[in-house]
């Protein structure tokens, strides 16, 4: 159950778009459409932003979108806003070794 690989940090100016990548293997990201993304503000619990690769829960802005190609999933945030500044984590179902869930190391998004 090795962690998925995310960039440690990304940044963008208000109004711009950014993309956060999440790289795994064929036993997790590449093998299943069970990738999800979470937003976490400092001192707060994580919040689900994207599930099953590209689905948004009710109430999540359509500025957030997800995609996947091979073993890499991506989260794109368009029209960056100050309140988007947070940590973002990807997650996937995994069948590596034993069945379970694996998270990425997290990406700190800074809105300049």
Partner 1 sequence: EVQLLESGGALVQPGGSLRLSCAASGFSFTFYAMSWVRQAPGKGLEWVSAISGSGDSTYYADSVRGRFTISRDNSKNTLYLQMNSLRAEDTAIYYCAKDPSHLGLNYLDVWGRGTTVTVSS
DSSP per-residue letters across the chain: -PPBB--SEEEE-TT--EEEEEE--TTTTTT-S-EEEEEE-TTS--EEEEBTTTBPPTTS-TTEEEEEETTEEEEEE-S--GGG-EEEEEEEEE-SSSSEEEEB--EEEEE-
By the rule CB under 8 A, 100 interacts with partner 1: yes
Q: Judged by CB under 8 A, does residue 110 bind partner 1?
A: no
Told to check if 64 binds partner 1 by CB under 8 A, we report no
Per-position x/- string for 18-57, each x denoting binding to partner 1 as judged by CB under 8 A, each - no binding: ----------------x-x-x-x----xxxx--xx----x
Q: Which residues bind partner 1 (CB under 8 A)?
A: 1, 3, 34, 36, 38, 40, 45-48, 51-52, 57, 87, 89, 91, 93, 97-106
């Amino acid at each position: 159950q090795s962690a998925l690989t995310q960039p440690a940090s990304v940044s963008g100016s208000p109004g711009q778009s950014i993309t956060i990548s999440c790289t795994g293997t064929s036993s997790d990201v590449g093998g299943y459409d069970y990738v999800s993304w979470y937003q976490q503000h400092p001192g707060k619990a994580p919040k689900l932003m994207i599930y099953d690769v590209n689905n948004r829960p009710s109430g999540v802005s359509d500025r957030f979108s997800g995609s996947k190609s091979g073993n890499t999933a991506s989260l794109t945030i368009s029209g960056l806003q100050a309140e988007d500044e947070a940590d973002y984590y990807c997650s996937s179902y995994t069948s590596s070794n034993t069945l379970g869930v694996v998270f990425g190391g997290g990406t700190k998004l800074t809105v300049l």
